Amino acid sequence: SRTAVVIPAAGRGVRLGPGAPKALRALNGTPILIHAVRAMAASRAVSLVIVVAPPDGAPEVKTLLDDHALPERTDFLVVPGGDSRQESVRAGLDALPPGIDIVLVHDAARPLVPVDTVDGVIAAVREGAPAVVPALPLTDTVKQVEPAAAPGDAEPVVATPERARLRAVQTPQGFDRATLVRAHETVTDNVTDDASMVEQLGLPVVVVPGHEEAFKVTRPLDLLLAEAVLARRRA
C-alpha cells in the first residue's frame, strides 16, 4: 500500500497575532511548514506529501520546499487552499494521484509531531481501520455552555462531560483513501477535523496514542513551547 500526506497550511493564523500566514512563520529560523513537512517525510511509509498553500501563496511555498533539504524518497506537490480548513483539505485530496490507498491529513500547525506517532497512525489504517485519530486524555475539566443571552452576559453551564472519557484529538489523522474522499464529497457541515466527517458516514473511527509534542501552534505561548521542545531535542 502507498501512503500520501495532505498538509493543510492555508490558514492565516489569526490567533497567533498579526504577521505572515502561520505556516510560513519561523520556528527556530525555519518555517513552521518545513518542520511539519520534515516530520511527515521522516516516516519511511510516506511516499508523497501534498502541501496546501495559502490561496495566493503556492509559488512561494514551492520555492520554500526547493530551498530546504528534504528526503529524496518522498515526492512533494503544492496546491492552493481555500477559505476553510475543509476546503483546503479537499483541494489536497483532489491532487492525489492513482496508486495511493492510505491518506494522512496533518495540520501544518503541528510541526513537532514525532515519527512514532505518524507510524502508529499508518499502522492502524493498514490493519484495517477506515479512520484513525491520535489522541490524549484531557487535563482540564470541560464544561458545555449555552450562548450568553446578551453580549456581555455570563454563559450558563449546561453540562460537564465525564473527563475520563474525553480525548483531545491531534493530527496526523489517517484514512483509507476512498473513505476520506467519500466523506469530503458527502458531508457539508462545518467541522473541525476530518475524522468527524467519517463518523457522520456511520463508519468506525479508532483512537491511537497521541503525543504531547504533537500540540498545535495556535497562540503566542505555543510558539514559546515549540522553541523549548526544539531546544530540548538539541540538548
Among 40, 93, 104, 109, binds ligand CTP (CB under 6 A): 109
Q: Interface with ligand CTP includes 216 (CB under 6 A)?
A: yes
Picking from 72, 34, 54, 21, the residue whose alpha carbon sits closest to that of residue 230 is 34
Which residue's CB is nearer to Mg ion, number 45 or number 105? 105
Q: Interface with ligand CTP includes 24 (CB under 6 A)?
A: no
Q: Interface with ligand CTP includes 15 (CB under 6 A)?
A: yes
Q: Are 130 and 204 in contact (CB under 8 A)?
A: yes
Instruction: Choose from Mg ion, ligand CTP, none: what does 30 bind? Cβ within 5-8 Å by kind.
Output: none
Four-point Cα dihedral 98, 99, 102, 105, nearest 10: -40
Helix (H, G, I), strand (E, B) or coil at 40: helix
| C-alpha dist (Å) from residue 209 to 15, 21, 95, 135, 166 | 27, 30, 29, 6, 13
Q: Interface with ligand CTP includes 84 (CB under 6 A)?
A: yes
Prior bond of 172 cis (ω within 30°): yes
Which residue's CB is nearer to Mg ion, number 205 or number 217? 217
Among 12, 143, 163, 233, binds ligand CTP (CB under 6 A): 12
Q: Interface with ligand CTP includes 2 (CB under 6 A)?
A: no
CA pair distance 121, 126, nearest whole angstrom: 9
Residue 207 grid cell: 483512537
| C-alpha dist (Å) from residue 16 to 34, 156, 207, 209 | 18, 28, 29, 27
Among 13, 57, 111, 130, binds ligand CTP (CB under 6 A): 13
Which residue's CB is nearer to Mg ion, number 164 or number 192? 192
Q: Interface with ligand CTP includes 158 (CB under 6 A)?
A: no
Among 3, 64, 65, 85, binds ligand CTP (CB under 6 A): 85
Instruction: Choose from ligand CTP, Mg ion, none: what does 52 bind? Cβ within 5-8 Å by kind.
Output: ligand CTP
Helix, strand, coil distribution of the chain in percent, nearest 5: 35, 20, 40
Among 71, 80, 82, 114, binds ligand CTP (CB under 6 A): 82
Residues within the interface to ligand CTP (CB under 6 A): 8-15, 22-23, 52, 81-85, 88, 107-109, 216, 218
